[in-house]
Amino acid sequence: MKYLHLAALLALTSCAANQPATAPTTTPAPPTFPMTTTDPNTTDETPQDHKLVIYQLMTRLFGNKTAVNKPYGTAQENGVGKFNDINDQALQAIKGLGVSHVWYTGVLDHATLTDYARYGIPADDADVVKGRAGSPYAIKDYYDVAPDLAVDVPNRLREFEALVKRTHANGLKVIIDFIPNHVARSYKSDARPAGVVDLGEQDDKSQAFRPDNNFYYLPGQPFVVPADYNPLGAVKAPHEDGKYQENPAKATGNDVFSAAPSVNDWFETIKLNYGIDYQNGRQPHFEPVPDTWHKMRDILVFWARKDVDAFRCDMAEMVPVEFWAWVIPELKKVKPGLLFIGEAYDAKTYQMYIERGGFDYLYDKVGLYDGLRRLTRDEGSTRDITRVWSEESRGFGGHMLRFLENHDEQRIASKDFAGNPRAALPAMTVSATLGTGPVMLYFGQDVGEPAHGSEGFSGEDGRTTIFDYWGVPEHQKWLNGGRFDGGLLSPEQQQLHAFYVRLLTLSGQREAIRKGYFYELQSTFASTAPGYNTERVYAYLRYTGREKLLVVVNFSPSQACQLPLSLPAAVLERLGMPAGQPLRYTDLLGDAGTVPGGTTVTLAPQSSHIFEIK
């Protein structure tokens, strides 16, 4: 929730010309080849199989067939996807992409302007809700699911439970969000089990901070709605009057200790208190275990017992690592094998949150995603990739979740990112195959969804809205009225989708990618391949004792490149392949076919290849 507010080959030239100078097991692959910890082209990380292939879908949007797309439209006008839309046919289509896990985004009950008062869930005050549908990261009941997602609202939780069972029956695992740092200002759990004390119910509101308070308070100061907030544009929203009754005011979710947060803050949320006194030097108070820790553990246990397989933990670094170190083992006692994925942006704390906090995986956003985005836009350098594996996540790269799209990031096909979905195929290839860790695909990415249009609160920002009711046009062509067969896709979209199927299937099935060693070939090809452009072409090996793969991608949008498929004796020795032995290279991803070693292949602009070496 950091959200605030190849076809035709171009004329062949040297790849150096005109370039800017810029589930899871823990059994390591058997090292049947020489290993070293001093070679600068690799790390001493013992590979372990962490290769989840995750499909993230925005549950409210995924199954929506309505194409009206009226800005600020209601659920009735623009339609809304349901749990039941994600049927066996949909799940088989998702699995056909090579997927192992589905992240159902936006499941928990959150603040919304849609009125379900007839079911005991009235609309929330518009002055503290972002968008007509509301942010799925402003939770108003941790023990309930969003009524928007149910066909039969009183039975909404049973419909979610049926989705979990259906997902498992189709050979897939379930991820849902856990939002530990903040809740909606209107938080009140109506669905909590008997005997559960609600968040804030026993707080001493006269104290700015107490270790056992669930929230932080600003005694004597009422909450002030941002003066320039306009919830629904020209439309008057329910209860919109520029006021919201909260006295004393609570601290805002993004650590703003002011009764009058700005419109650019997460003003619709309130910060949870995990025992850190932010206003007094961030002093920790962890003994005895704070009340919030117990309450959040119980919430996680509630969902784990619904047979959820993993939690994607929103803004994990805004919650003290001590809490994670305590709660994750507690949950794994309840459900061994349960996974925790942390949204994280501070590279300096990655290792701490993995080793001390107990996270299975963390986002690789500020490192690999940002570097690959620059390369896709013909900026930056492949040195950014080297820096990630050799420095930023050295020793724990298998615990980093790689992606090119998610609900927070701009769509590849948007004008704000690449404008062309095929431009990012080299970057996606690297995301999926660089390491043994998870890779993630966002729904619509595989058909080039560009997120055109101003949906309402979300605006024209290159993202698919998480705040509004909307139909996702290119995704709806794949949806094809509920057939999930891509029947309305253009030939170009069908080719794009087929590429993702090949890539993700290789990523999830090939031993060398799942649990193989890594060896970078930039220095090798720079010294042996004339004209090899180390700024725009990137190559590496993934290998085990039984399988050897050469991955090579060309990020250049205009320059093709000639690459001889020849590896020096020292590299072949590392692979356990005697020098002088005849080799053949079979392209599993691109269109180079099978060629003998020593053959020079053409790397088209923005092309990707995975060669199996035998």
Predicted local confidence at residue 238, as pLDDT = 79
Q: Which tens digit of pLDDT belongs to each residue from 157-209? A: 999 999 999 999 999 999 999 999 999 999 999 999 999 999 999 999 999 99
- Residues 441, 328 share a domain: yes
Full residue range of the structural domain in which residue 561 is found: 517-613
Side-chain half-sphere exposure of 236, counting CA atoms within 13 A: 2
Question: Considering the domain boundaries, does residue 308 fall inside one?
Answer: yes
Whether 501 and 530 share a structural domain:
no
The answer to whether residues 322 and 424 belong to one domain is yes
Q: Which two tokens stand for residue 241?
A: 């009057």
Together in a domain, 599 and 565:
yes
Q: What is the pLDDT of residues 254-267, one digit of tens each?
A: 999 999 999 999 99
Task: Tell me how far apart the alpha carbons of residues 32 and 45 are, in angstroms, rounded to a whole number.
Answer: 16
The verdict on 334 and 475 lying in the same domain is yes
- Residue 47 and residue 29 in contact, taking contact as beta carbons nearer than 8 Å: yes
The answer to whether residues 355 and 477 belong to one domain is: yes
Instruction: Assess if residue 7 is contained within a domain.
Output: no
Q: Determine whether 118 is exposed, middle or buried from the number of CB atoms within 10 Å of its CB (0-12, 13-18, 19+).
A: exposed
Work out the average pLDDT over 278-286: 97
Give the tens place of pLDDT for each residue, 359-399: 999 999 999 999 999 999 999 999 999 999 999 999 999 99
Of 508, 537, 568, which marks where a domain is finished? 508
Q: What pLDDT score was predicted for residue 203?
A: 98
Last residue of a domain, one of 455, 487, 508: 508
**pTM, entire model:** 0.94
With a CB cutoff of 8 Å and minimum separation 6, the contacts of 449 are 411, 413, 443, 464, 472, 473, 474, 475
Tokens 């799940």 map to which residue? Answer: 91
Comparing C-alpha atoms, which of 422, 473, 426, 478 is closest to residue 450? 473
**126 in any annotated domain:** no
- The pLDDT of 533-558, averaged and rounded, is 98
User: What pLDDT shows up at residue 579?
Assistant: 87
Q: Please indicate, yes or no, if residue 187 is contained in any of the structural domains.
A: no
Tens digits of per-residue pLDDT, 2-53? 544 333 322 333 343 333 333 444 433 333 344 445 899 999 899 999 999 9
Residue 487 contacts residue 591 (beta carbons within 8 Å): no
Position 265 in a domain: no
Write the pLDDT tens digit of every residue in 424-465: 999 999 999 999 999 999 999 999 999 999 999 999 999 999
In this structure, what CATH number is given to the domain that contains residue 394? 3.20.20.80
Q: Are residues 368 and 501 in the same domain?
A: yes
Per-residue pLDDT, 33: 40
CB-based contact 174:102 (threshold 8 Å) = yes
- The tokens for 36 are 């070293």
Percentage of residues in the chain with pLDDT exceeding 90? Answer: 91
- What is the structure's pLDDT at 50? 97
Q: Count Cα neighbours of 405 within 13 Å in the Cβ-side half-sphere.
A: 30
Q: Does 504 share its domain with 521?
A: no
Cβ partners under 8 Å of residue 22, min gap 6: 379, 380, 381, 535
pLDDT of residue 612: 98
Identify whether the C-beta of residue 488 lies closer than 8 Å to the C-beta of residue 525.
no
- Amino acid 2: pLDDT: 56
Q: What angle do CA 302, 303, 305 make, to 5 degrees?
A: 70
530 with 500, same domain: the answer is: no
Mean pLDDT computed over 91-103: 98
* Last residue within a domain, chosen from 508, 529, 557: 508
State the average pLDDT over residues 101-117: 98
In this structure, what CATH number is given to the domain that contains residue 580?
A: 2.60.40.1180
Q: What is the pLDDT of residues 473-518, one digit of tens each?
A: 999 999 999 999 999 999 999 999 999 999 999 999 999 999 999 9
Average pLDDT, the chain: 94
pLDDT band, residue 234 (cuts 50/70/90): confident
- In this structure, is residue 273 part of a structural domain? no
Say yes or no: 332 and 454 in one domain.
yes
Res 37: pLDDT: 53
> How many domains in the chain?
2
Give domain status of residue 243, yes or no: no
At 580, the pLDDT band (50, 70, 90 cuts) reads: confident
Instruction: Tell me, yes or no, whether 446 and 577 share the same domain.
Output: no
Residue 271 counted as domain residue: no
Judge if 436 and 314 occupy the same domain. yes
